[in-house]
């Protein structure tokens, strides 16, 4: 106990690697990030590929650390997932995203769908269904305009449990999407066990579609299979005009990507909406 506690050196022992120290530092400051208002959301437009008009937006978490600057979500979300903070952060994301979406619906008079990422840990949380119900009640957002994105790996981690939770969430009238689809695991057969509305193709193969014939073939096959299961297909990571055209030809329903629009701050997203032709 003596060695461990002395001057807190247990935490920043000299033999720790630089990465381990950075991670420890991130973990400690992430505990206060919410109360210190260091977290915010960016919104990335989602475009209907038939009409080419905006149909919704994905809320993406951002963390501005006072010393380290912007910490990417790929860095802090896994930490939050591991130490359990994701439950608090995820709840905040859901509440903030729905609050802003409901305000934007009123302000711009468009039926925009708000998509929120739900982590594996949140899906396992006992209170998740009550949380979502509470957010719908408090914000007054129409349930069909809220979509929750769950990764393929989170869903198949405990199929029986996930299926039960998804059924309850579906009863609230919201939309459910499988995120990062195609990154491995299981194929489409297991998807039939979940009440899913939307399949999001992972950006790793959407991005390489124009260089890689396999990716193109996968995308076409997934679109057809998803449609057979009555799911809409969303492609993310659309970076070129060629990929956009390919997806339209492949009957993909919606898309997101830097070629269409980057994730935007709330202010920039509002400016984007005000520049659009009337709905």
Pairwise CA distance, residues 133 & 127, whole Å: 10
Q: Which stretch binds ligand C2E (CB under 6 A): 127-135, 139-147, 163-171, 232-240?
A: 232-240
For 262, what's the count of Cα atoms within 13 Å in the CB-facing half-sphere?
Answer: 3
Q: Does residue 87 bind Ca ion (CB under 5 A)? A: no
CB of 16 to ligand C2E, least distance (A): 26
In the complex with Ca ion, the residue whose CB is nearer, 29 or 162, is 162
Q: Give the residues across from 181 on adjacent strands.
A: 201
In whole angstroms, what is the distance from residue 251 CA to residue 49 CA?
8
- Pick from 214, 193, 102, 107: which is nearest to 150 by CA? 193
The verdict on 87 binding ligand C2E (CB under 6 A) reads no
Q: Give the Cα separation of 253 and 180 in Å (integer).
A: 16
Q: Is 46 in the site for ligand C2E (CB under 6 A)?
A: no
Contact map string, positions 161 to 200, toward Ca ion, x by CB under 5 A? ------------------xx--------------------
- In 3D space, the residue among 55, 61, 148 whose CA is nearest the CA of residue 110 turns out to be 55
Decide: is 147 part of the binding site for Ca ion (CB under 5 A): no
Do strands 175-181 and 198-201 pair parallel, antiparallel, or not at all (unpaired)?
parallel
Q: How far is the CB of 170 from ligand C2E (least distance, A)?
A: 20
Q: How many CA atoms lie within 13 A of 160 on its CB side?
A: 0
Residue 236 Cβ vs ligand C2E, minimum distance, rounded to whole Å? 5
The secondary element (H helix, E strand) that includes residue 176 is strand 175-181
Q: Which range touches ligand C2E (CB under 6 A), out of 104-112, 124-132, 233-241, 245-253?
A: 233-241
What sign has the CA pseudo-torsion 194, 155, 164, 199? Answer: negative
d(CA 101, CA 109): 11
Query: Taking CB under 5 A as the rule, which mask of x and - marks residues 112-131 in contact with Ca ion?
Result: -----x--------------
| Minimum CB–partner distance for residue 203 and Ca ion (Å) | 6
Nearest approach, Cβ of 234 to Ca ion (angstroms)? 9
Q: Give me 109's structure tokens.
A: 């008079």
Side-chain-facing half-sphere of 226: CA atoms under 13 Å: 25
Residue among 47 and 93 whose Cβ is closer to ligand C2E? 93
Verify binding: residue 114, ligand C2E, rule CB under 6 A.
no
Nearer to ligand C2E, 258 or 272 (CB): 258
Pairing verdict, β 69-71 and 54-65: antiparallel
91 binding ligand C2E? (CB under 6 A): no
**What residue ranges bind ligand C2E (CB under 6 A)?**
44, 60-61, 72-74, 77, 90, 93, 117, 119, 179-180, 203, 236-239, 256-258, 263
**What residue ranges bind Ca ion (CB under 5 A)?**
117, 149, 179-180
């Amino acid at each position: 106990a003596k060695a461990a506690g002395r001057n807190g050196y247990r935490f920043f022992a000299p033999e720790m690697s630089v990465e381990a120290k950075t991670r420890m530092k991130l973990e400690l400051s992430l505990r206060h990030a919410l109360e210190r208002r260091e977290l915010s959301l960016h919104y990335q437009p989602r475009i209907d590929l038939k009409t080419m008009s905006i149909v919704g937006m994905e809320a993406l978490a951002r963390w501005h650390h006072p010393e380290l600057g912007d910490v990417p979500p790929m860095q802090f979300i896994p930490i939050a997932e591991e130490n359990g903070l994701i439950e608090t952060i995820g709840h905040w994301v859901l509440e903030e995203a729905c609050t802003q979406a409901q305000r934007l619906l009123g302000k711009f008079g468009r039926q925009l769908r708000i998509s929120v990422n739900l982590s594996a840990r949140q899906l396992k949380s006992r209170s998740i269904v009550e949380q979502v119900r509470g957010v719908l009640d408090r914000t007054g957002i129409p349930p069909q305009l809220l979509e929750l994105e769950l990764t393929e790996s989170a869903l198949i981690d405990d199929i029986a449990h996930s299926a039960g939770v998804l059924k309850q969430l579906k009863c609230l009238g919201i939309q459910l999407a499988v995120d990062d689809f195609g990154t491995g695991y299981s194929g489409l057969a297991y998807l039939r066990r979940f009440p899913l509305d939307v399949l999001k193709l992972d950006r790793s193969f959407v991005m390489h579609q124009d260089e890689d014939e396999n990716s193109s073939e996968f995308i076409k096959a997934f679109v057809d299979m998803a449609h057979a299961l009555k799911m809409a297909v969303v492609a993310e990571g659309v970076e070129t005009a060629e990929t956009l055209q390919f997806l339209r030809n492949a009957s993909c329903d919606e898309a997101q990507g830097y070629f269409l629009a980057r994730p935007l701050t709330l202010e920039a997203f509002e400016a984007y909406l005000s520049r659009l032709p009337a709905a």
